Structure 1
């Protein structure tokens, strides 16, 4: 087909290549839809870890719980605990309970180590499912011991505890959950 002016040439080019133009637009729309779907999928399985503090100062108990309030599983890559700015972490996934016990014993001299429970995660088994709650630290002091305890010192010691959890989603999106007295 011979062109007789610029408008005729443009229509001739479009007419001859309409299938290629439509196929290119369809492919671009497909790639865009794939990108949007992947972005949505990442958001639909994103975990959100929160650390909750529960205290009962009548019959003394203190508990820190880790909760996954997100939509997907959280993969814990590392975590650490500090007490009075001292690192209580060993290597991956193990905590030094004796450091925490030593600090708390200053406030509660008769503290029984059995009443202190610290959750440790084994490497490779550090998944927290959506809605799952894990008590990462629990302290129960019998009432007769708590009555003779320096309560202000005990609260100060408990307030010096901080945790940091590094975690990621199944898509590899990295996040952190932190707890310290400043969060309260």
Structure 2
């Protein structure tokens, strides 16, 4: 009986009214009413506990761009981090710019070639890319470097110029991840929003963003 109750206020009120109507027809109305209310309260508490459990293991992904400092050489990275309380089970992972899209679940050599083309930076730089071939999991409090760039020389007259150019390049990338939480509920993360949305809401959100982009004013 508990499983049949969805926890909504209207449903519980309707069942409570039915219990009271039945109690009026029964001489033992007080014990019956108390028992009915106890079942309703238990069902409601179970629904609240389930929602709390889902929130307590919900992953939260976001993108970080930062420097890698060492005594030997400098570097810059673009990473995805999970600041949530539960794992993010990766189902799809794409990085794009304009019409170019790179699937990070592909073969590592293929990802390397496509990412270099997508970034369109100096070929002499040293690149390192992370792939999610076959899927993957980003655990809570884990940061995964998606792109690491090293081997660039700084302009002595403007040491920050090269770093700024690379940082701007990385910031222009669109990163889209579809993932599940521990309860197998699907979410979509987009670097354009920098917060997750439930997959069933994703289509509406994307249409809304396209509508906003099409406006003649911002």
TM-score over 0.5 (shorter chain): yes
**Distance of aligned partners of 1:158 and 1:84 in 2 relative to their CA distance in 1, 3 Å threshold:** farther
The unaligned stretches of length 5 or more in structure 1 are 1-10
Deviations 1:63-119 (A, max 9, x none): 0111110111111111101145411227xx126221222354x541433xxx21110
The unaligned stretches of length 5 or more in structure 2 are 1-22, 195-218
1:86 aligned to which of 97, 100, 122: 100
Deviations 1:113-165 (A, max 9, x none): xx2111011325x111111111111111243xx549x9476555434322211
**Distance of aligned partners of 1:162 and 1:141 in 2 relative to their CA distance in 1, 3 Å threshold:** farther
TM superposition shift of 1:15: 4.5
Which residue in the other structure is 2:61 paired with?
49
The answer to whether residue 161 in structure 2 is matched with residue 178 in structure 1 is: no
For the pair shown, the structure with the greater C-alpha radius of gyration is 1
- Structure with more contact order per residue of length (Cα contacts < 8 Å, sep ≥ 6): 1
TM-score by length of 1: 0.72
Which runs of 4 or more aligned residues in structure 1 lie more than 4 Å from their structure 2 counterparts after TM superposition? 11-15, 152-156
Check whether the contact 1:83–1:100 (CA below 8 A) recurs between aligned residues.
Answer: no
| RMSD over aligned Cα atoms | 3.2
TM-score by length of 2: 0.62
Check whether the contact 1:84–1:157 (CA below 8 A) recurs between aligned residues.
Answer: no
**Distance of aligned partners of 1:63 and 1:15 in 2 relative to their CA distance in 1, 3 Å threshold:** same
Would you say how many aligned residue pairs link Structure 1 and Structure 2?
A: 162
